[in-house]
Structure 1
Amino acid sequence: MINNIWYNNALLLRLICMPFLIPFSLLYGLITTLIRLSYRIGLFQIKRFPLAIIVIGNLTIGGTGKTPLVIWLVEKLKRRGWRVGVVSRGYGSCSVTYPLLVNSTTMSNQCGDEPLLIWQRTGVSVAVAPRRIDAVEFLIKNNDLDVIVSDDGLQHYALARDIEWVVIDGIRRFGNGWWIPAGPMRERQYRLNSVQEIIVNGGNIRDARETPMKIQPDLIVNLLSNESISLSELKNKKIVAIAGIGYPRRFFCTLKEYGILPIKEVNFSDHQHYQEKDLINLIPTHSHFILLMTEKDAVKCRTFARKNWWYLRVNAILPSSKENLLLLPIEKVIDHYLKKD
Structure 2
Amino acid sequence: MTTLVNRLWYGGKRPLWPLYPLVWLYRAIAESRRRRAWQARDERIPVPVVVVGNITVGGTGKSPLTAALTGLLKEHGWQPVILSRGYGGKADHYPLLVSRDTGPDLAGDEPVMLAAESACPVVVDPDRKRGALWALDQKLGNILVCDDGLQHYRLPRDIELAVFDASRGIGNGALIPVGPLREPIERLASVDFVITNGGRLDDIDHPHQFTMTLAPTELRNLVTGDVVSPDRLRGQSVKAVAGIGNPERFFDTLRGLGAQVRPRALADHHRFTPDDLHSEQGEWLIMTAKDAVKCQKIAPDNTWVLAVKAGLPESFRQAFMASVEHCRQSLDSNETVRTHHG
**Equivalences for 1:241-320 in 2 at 5 Å?**
241-262=240-261, 264-279=262-277, 282-284=278-280, 288-320=282-314
Aligned partner letter, 1:79: E
* Alignment check: 8 A CA contact 2:47 2:328 kept: yes
Q: Size of the alignment, in residue pairs?
A: 329
Aligned partner letter, 1:312: L
Question: C-alpha displacement at 1:9, in angstroms?
Answer: 4.3
Q: Residue in 2 aligned with 1:192?
A: 188
Question: C-alpha displacement at 1:209, in angstroms?
Answer: 2.5
Question: C-alpha displacement at 1:313, in angstroms?
Answer: 0.2
Tell me, in whole angstroms, the C-alpha distance in 1 between the residues paired with 2:217 and 2:227. Answer: 10
Task: Tell me the TM-score normalized by structure 2.
Answer: 0.91
**Equivalences for 1:89-238 in 2 at 5 Å?**
89-206=85-202, 207=205, 208-238=207-237
Aligned partner letter, 2:315: S
Tell me, in whole angstroms, the C-alpha distance in 2 between the residues paired with 1:51 and 1:322. Answer: 21
Tell me, in whole angstroms, the C-alpha distance in 1 between the residues paired with 2:93 and 2:175. Answer: 33
Tell me, in whole angstroms, the C-alpha distance in 2 between the residues paired with 1:209 and 1:45. Answer: 27
* Cα offsets for 1:296-329 (capped at 9, x unmatched): 1111111222221001100111112331112221
Q: Residue in 2 aligned with 1:45?
A: 41
Task: Tell me which of 6, 11, 22 is aligned to 2:9.
Answer: 6
Runs of 5+ unmatched residues, structure 1: none
Q: Residue in 1 aligned with 2:339?
A: none
Identity %: 37
* Alignment check: 8 A CA contact 1:47 1:159 kept: no
Tell me, in whole angstroms, the C-alpha distance in 2 between the residues paired with 1:128 and 1:167. Answer: 21
* Alignment check: 8 A CA contact 2:63 2:114 kept: yes
Aligned partner letter, 1:246: G
* Alignment check: 8 A CA contact 1:39 1:46 kept: no
Greater shift in the superposed pair: 124-133 or 201-210: 201-210
Tell me, in whole angstroms, the C-alpha distance in 2 between the residues paired with 1:64 and 1:324. Answer: 23
* Alignment check: 8 A CA contact 1:205 1:211 kept: no
* Alignment check: 8 A CA contact 1:165 1:199 kept: yes
* Alignment check: 8 A CA contact 1:46 1:157 kept: no
* Alignment check: 8 A CA contact 1:47 1:133 kept: no
* Cα offsets for 1:15-71 (capped at 9, x unmatched): xx421x22212111011111222334x2x3356311110001110111011000000
Task: Tell me which of 79, 83, 86 is aligned to 1:83.
Answer: 79
Task: Tell me which of 322, 331, 335 is aligned to 2:316.
Answer: 322
Pair 338,224 (structure 1): closer, same or farther in 2 beyond 3 Å: farther
Q: Residue in 2 aligned with 1:35?
A: 33
Task: Tell me the TM-score normalized by structure 1.
Answer: 0.91
Greater shift in the superposed pair: 290-299 or 203-212: 203-212
Superposed CA RMSD: 1.8
Tell me, in whole angstroms, the C-alpha distance in 1 between the residues paired with 2:249 and 2:5. Answer: 18
Tell me, in whole angstroms, the C-alpha distance in 1 between the residues paired with 2:74 and 2:208. Answer: 26
1:303 match: secondary structure? coil
Aligned partner letter, 1:306: P
* Cα offsets for 1:229-268 (capped at 9, x unmatched): 1111122223111111111110111111121222x11111
1:75 match: secondary structure? helix
2:309 match: secondary structure? strand
* Alignment check: 8 A CA contact 2:80 2:144 kept: yes
Aligned partner letter, 2:306: L
Q: Residue in 2 aligned with 1:69?
A: 65
Pair 267,81 (structure 1): closer, same or farther in 2 beyond 3 Å: same
* Alignment check: 8 A CA contact 2:95 2:123 kept: yes
Tell me, in whole angstroms, the C-alpha distance in 2 between the residues paired with 1:126 and 1:176. Answer: 35
* Alignment check: 8 A CA contact 1:66 1:167 kept: yes
* Cα offsets for 1:71-105 (capped at 9, x unmatched): 00001111211111010111111111111110243
Aligned partner letter, 1:238: S
Aligned partner letter, 1:319: P
Pair 97,222 (structure 1): closer, same or farther in 2 beyond 3 Å: same
* Alignment check: 8 A CA contact 1:295 1:312 kept: yes
1:302 match: secondary structure? coil
Q: Given the alignment of the two structures, is residue 24 of structure 1 paired with residue 37 of structure 2, yes or no?
A: no
